[in-house]
Amino acid sequence: MHGCKGKSGAKGVTAAGSFFLDSRDSVFAHRGEDRFQMAEAQTLKRTPLYDCHLEAGAKMVDFAGWEMPVQYQGVIDEHRAVRTAAGLFDVSHMGEVRVRGEGAEAFLQRLTPNDVSKLVPGRAHYSGLLTEQGTYVDDILIYRLAADDFLVVVNASNADRDYRWIADRANGEDYPAPTIVTNESDQYALLALQGPKALEILAPLATSGIGELKYYGFRQGEVAGLPALISRTGYTGEDGFELYVAPEHAAAVWRSLVAAGAVPAGLGARDTLRLEAAMALYGHEIDETTTPFEAGLAWVVKLDKGGDFQGRGALLAQKAQGLPRKLVGFEVEGRGIARQGHEVVSEGAAVGKVTSGTWSPTFEKALGMAYVPPSLASLGTRLAIDVRGRTLPAVVVELPFYRRPR
Partner 1 sequence: MYPSENLYTREHEWVRVEDDVCVLGITEFAQHELGEVVFVELPEVGQVFDTGDELGTIESVKAVAEIYTPVAGEVIEVNEAVSDDPELLNEDPHGEGWLIKIRFSSASDLKELMKADQYEEYVKSGEA
Query: Is there binding between residue 217 and partner 1 (CB under 8 A)?
Result: no
Residue 243 φ then ψ, to 5°: -115, 115
Distance of closest approach, residue 221 Cβ to partner 1, in angstroms: 36
Contact (CB, 8 A) for 187 and 153: no
Neighbouring residues of 89: CB distance < 8 A, sequence distance ≥ 6: 191, 192, 193, 194, 265, 266, 267, 270
Contact (CB, 8 A) for 355 and 372: no
Query: Is there binding between residue 386 and partner 1 (CB under 8 A)?
Result: no
Looking at 113-262, list the stretches that DSSP marks H as alpha helix, in order from N- to C-terminal side. 159-169, 198-202, 250-259
Strand, helix or coil at 47? coil
Query: Is there binding between residue 388 and partner 1 (CB under 8 A)?
Result: yes
Can you tell me the distance from the alpha carbon of 355 to that of 54, in angstroms, rounded to the nearest whole number?
A: 31
The smaller minimum CB distance to partner 1, of residues 25 and 285, is found at 25
Q: Which of 194, 272, 310, 340 binds partner 1 (CB under 8 A)?
A: 272
| Candidate segments 23-31, 176-184, 288-296, 377-385, binder of partner 1 by CB under 8 A | 23-31
| Candidate segments 16-24, 113-121, 344-352, 368-376, binder of partner 1 by CB under 8 A | 16-24
Q: Rounded to an integer, what is the distance from CA 235 to the centroid of its chain?
A: 6
Diameter of the chain measured on Cα atoms: 62
The smaller minimum CB distance to partner 1, of residues 61 and 137, is found at 61
The smaller minimum CB distance to partner 1, of residues 21 and 377, is found at 21
| Per-position x/- string for 328-347, each x denoting binding to partner 1 as judged by CB under 8 A, each - no binding | -------xxx-x--------
Neighbouring residues of 384: CB distance < 8 A, sequence distance ≥ 6: 344, 345, 346, 391, 392, 393, 394
Hey, which residues between 75 and 104 contact partner 1 (CB under 8 A)? 75-76
| Candidate segments 18-26, 41-49, 112-120, 130-138, binder of partner 1 by CB under 8 A | 18-26
Query: Is there binding between residue 5 and partner 1 (CB under 8 A)?
Result: yes
The smaller minimum CB distance to partner 1, of residues 118 and 388, is found at 388
Can you tell me the distance from the alpha carbon of 99 to that of 183, in angstroms, rounded to the nearest whole number?
A: 9
Strand, helix or coil at 153? strand
- The amino acid present at 282, given as its one-letter code, is Y
Q: Which of 38, 46, 54, 74 binds partner 1 (CB under 8 A)?
A: 74
- The amino acid present at 93, given as its one-letter code, is H
Query: Is there binding between residue 15 and partner 1 (CB under 8 A)?
Result: yes
Q: Rounded to an integer, what is the distance from CA 266 to the centroid of its chain?
A: 13
Query: Is there binding between residue 379 and partner 1 (CB under 8 A)?
Result: no
Distance of closest approach, residue 337 Cβ to partner 1, in angstroms: 5
The smaller minimum CB distance to partner 1, of residues 127 and 362, is found at 362
Q: Which of 359, 384, 395, 397 binds partner 1 (CB under 8 A)?
A: 359
Contact (CB, 8 A) for 255 and 51: no
Can you tell me the distance from the alpha carbon of 271 to that of 319, in angstroms, rounded to the nearest whole number?
A: 30
| Candidate segments 50-58, 71-79, 214-222, 294-302, binder of partner 1 by CB under 8 A | 71-79
Can you tell me the distance from the alpha carbon of 193 to that of 244, in angstroms, rounded to the nearest whole number?
A: 11
| Candidate segments 21-29, 45-53, 248-256, 396-404, binder of partner 1 by CB under 8 A | 21-29
The residues of the shown chain that bind partner 1, judged by CB under 8 A, are 1-5, 8, 15, 17-21, 23, 25-28, 70-71, 74-76, 268, 271-272, 335-337, 339, 358-359, 361, 388
